[in-house]
Amino acid sequence: MRSLYVRVVLTTIGVMALSSLLSFILTNVYYQLYLKPENNERITEVAEEVQRFLNENPTSDEDYFAHIGQLGYQLALFIDEEEPQFFGGSFREAQLPASDVQRVMLGQTYNGVGETSGQLFVTGFFNNELRNTVGVPIPFEDGTAALFLRPNVEQQLGEFRSFLAVLVVLILLFSVLVVFVSTRYLVAPIEQLTRATKKMEQAEFELELPTKRRDEIGQLASHFSSMAGAIERQERLRQEFVANVSHEIQSPLTTIQGMTHALKHEERTDLEREQYIEQIELESKRLSSLSRQLLTLASLAHGELNRNQCHVAEQWMDIVRTHAFRWREKELFVQMNLSESLVVEGDQQLLYQVWLNLFTNAVKFSKPEGTIRISGYQEEQDVIIKVEDNGEGISLEALPKIFERFYKEDHSRTSKKESNGLGLAIVHEIVTRHEGTIDVTSEKGVGTTFIVCIPSKKE
Looking at the structure, tell me whether residues 93 and 224 fall in a common domain: no
Last residue of a domain, one of 243, 273, 303: 303
Whether residues 14 and 132 share a domain: the answer is yes
Closest CA to 355 of 415, 438, 280: 438
Judgement on whether residues 259 and 348 belong to the same structural domain of the protein: no
Assess whether 404 and 417 both reside in one domain: yes
Residue 175 lies inside a defined structural domain of this protein: no
Q: Please, are residues 365 and 448 in contact by the beta-carbon 8 Å criterion?
A: yes
In a domain, 282, yes or no: yes
Is 177 inside any structural domain? no
Q: Are residue 125 and residue 228 in the same domain, yes or no?
A: no
- Distance in angstroms (rounded) separating the CA atoms of residues 89 and 367: 119
- φ/ψ of residue 434, rounded to 5: -95, 20
Q: Is residue 173 part of a domain?
A: no
Does residue 178 lie within any of the structural domains? no
Q: Could you write out the three-class secondary structure of 99-135?
A: HHHHHHHCCCCEEHHHHCCCECCECHHHCCECCCCEE
Each residue's pLDDT tens digit, 2-30: 566 677 778 888 888 888 888 878 877 77
pLDDT of residue 205: 66
Boundary residue ending a domain (255, 284, 303) = 303
- The verdict on residue 256 lying in a domain is yes
Q: What distance in Å separates the CA atoms of residue 368 and residue 333, rounded to the nearest whole number?
A: 10
- Shared domain for 111 and 207, answered yes or no, is no
| Predicted local distance difference test score (pLDDT) of residue 417 | 44
Residue 44 to residue 149: CA distance in whole angstroms: 9
Looking at the fold, whether 111 and 234 belong to one and the same domain comes out as: no
Residue type, 291: S
Is residue 281 assigned to a domain? Answer: yes
Instruction: Assign residue 356 the CATH number of its domain.
Output: 3.30.565.10
Three-state DSSP at 441 gives: strand
For residue 283, report the phi and psi dihedrals to the nearest 5 degrees: -65, -35
| pLDDT score for 61 | 81
Mean pLDDT of 319-331: 88
Other Cβ atoms less than 10 A from the Cβ of 329: the count is 10
CA distances from 309 to 58, 312, 354, 380 (A): 115, 9, 16, 17
pLDDT band for 448, please (50, 70, 90 cuts): very high
pLDDT at residue 436 is higher than 80 = yes
C-alpha closest to that of 355 among 382, 383, 378:
383
* Domain shared by 250 and 124, yes or no: no
Q: Which range of residues forms the domain containing residue 111?
A: 4-156
CA distance 194 to 212: 18
113 and 242 co-located in one domain: no
Contacts of range 194-198, beta carbons closer than 8 Å, 24 or more positions apart: 196/224, 196/228
What single DSSP character describes residue 418? T
- pLDDT classification of 1: cutoffs 50, 70, 90: very low
- Residues facing 103 on adjacent strands: none
Let me know how long the chain is.
459
Tell me how far apart the alpha carbons of residues 362 and 447 are, in angstroms, rounded to a whole number: 9
The answer to whether residues 291 and 266 belong to one domain is yes
Residue 270 and residue 142 in one domain: no
Mean pLDDT of the chain: 81
249 and 356, same structural domain? no
Q: Give the Å distances, CA to CA, from 423 to 60, 412, 428.
A: 119, 17, 9
**Coil, strand or helix: which one is 270?**
helix
Which of 125, 156, 187 terminates a domain? The answer is: 156
Separation of alpha carbons 43 and 33, rounded Å: 17
- Residue 174 falls within a domain, yes or no? no
Number of domain units in the chain: 3
